[in-house]
């Protein structure tokens, strides 16, 4: 990476390390590898202080999102949403997220997840903010919601995209970008075949740290400095220079999140 070429990690939970000296070490590794900006998706009320604290410590580099993760949607989800909504009102945030539908762990909460998604996408549209969407084992359910909620005002990213080319094209048609992370480097995931066919103007990069570390770090704790491996993989798949991937995805991220 040249000094002029920078990458943006559009989805990282690096703030899980807030208060630990390891966080500053990881941030320095980011800077050393050209990752200059990180977007921090909230997951529940407990993570709000960590997200805001990291953003305050690195105001030129870290940008908070606020949302309720679908795996945190439980019986008291309306109370949780009230806390998140207050945090949005009291702080500058750059997106509503991480929101979405997750049917991997618990299918019984689908009605509550759907309502939480509607509420939070309504916030995003009213505030003119993008969304960061989580989807696991729930493409059909998510697309049904997006068809319902998309009125021309909904923008953002389907984060950690791992779907088919058809699902990618449908997401793009709905006005959203695709967040590409470490899975694109996995040999048998199939995502490489999809990404090789996508135009860079539809993509942003992410790590989802500390999860889903890319090759050659697969199976270890992920961190935002590993974003460089994801960018290089996309460059290799599309047969273009790394700088082209970095420039295009960085411009996409800046435009989507207004940073």
What are the beta bridge partners of residue 62?
Answer: 38
Per the document, the length of the chain is 259
Asked whether residue 219 is domain-assigned, the answer is: yes
Pick from 49, 51, 175: which is nearest to 124 by CA? 175
Asked whether residue 1 is domain-assigned, the answer is: no
> CA angle, corner 69, sides to 67 and 74, nearest 5?
115
The CATH code of the domain that includes 95 is 3.20.20.140
Q: Which domain holds residue 157?
A: 7-257
For the sheet containing 156-158, what is the strand order?
A: 96-102, 131-136, 156-158, 177-180, 203-205
Question: What is the number of domains present in the chain?
Answer: 1
Mean pLDDT of 99-115: 97
Helix pair angle (139-149, 110-127), 10° resolution: 40
Per residue in 148-173, pLDDT (tens digit) is: 999 999 999 999 999 999 999 999 99
Per residue in 4-45, pLDDT (tens digit) is: 679 999 999 999 999 999 999 999 999 999 999 999 999 999
Give the C-alpha distances (Å, rounded to integers) separating 124 from 2, 117, 148: 35, 10, 15
Radius of gyration, alpha carbons of the chain: 17
Asked whether residue 2 is domain-assigned, the answer is: no
């Amino acid at each position: 990476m040249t000094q002029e070429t920078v990458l943006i990690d559009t989805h990282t939970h690096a703030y899980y390390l807030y208060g630990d000296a390891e966080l500053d070490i990881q941030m320095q590794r980011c800077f050393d590898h050209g990752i200059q900006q990180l977007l921090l998706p909230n997951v529940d009320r407990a993570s709000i202080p960590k997200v805001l604290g990291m953003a305050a410590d690195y105001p030129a580099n870290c940008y908070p999102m606020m949302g309720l993760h679908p795996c945190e949607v439980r019986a008291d989800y309306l109370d949780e949403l009230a806390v998140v909504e207050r945090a949005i009102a009291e702080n500058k945030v750059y997106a509503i997220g991480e929101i979405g539908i997750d049917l991997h762990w618990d299918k019984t909460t689908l009605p509550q997840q759907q309502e939480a998604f509607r509420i939070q996408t309504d916030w995003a549209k009213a505030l003119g903010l993008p969304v960061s969407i989580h989807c696991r084992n729930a493409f059909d359910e998510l697309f049904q919601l997006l068809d319902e909620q998309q009125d021309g005002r909904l923008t953002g990213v389907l984060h950690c995209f791992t779907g088919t080319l058809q699902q990618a094209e449908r997401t793009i048609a709905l006005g959203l970008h695709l967040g590409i992370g470490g899975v694109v480097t996995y040999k048998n995931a199939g995502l490489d075949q999809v990404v090789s066919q996508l135009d860079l103007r539809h993509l942003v990069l992410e790590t989802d740290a500390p999860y889903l570390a890319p090759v050659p770090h697969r199976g270890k704790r992920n961190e935002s400095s590993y974003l460089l491996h994801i960018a290089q993989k996309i460059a290799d798949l599309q047969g273009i220079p790394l700088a082209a991937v970095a420039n295009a995805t960085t411009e996409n991220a800046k435009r989507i999140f207004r940073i």
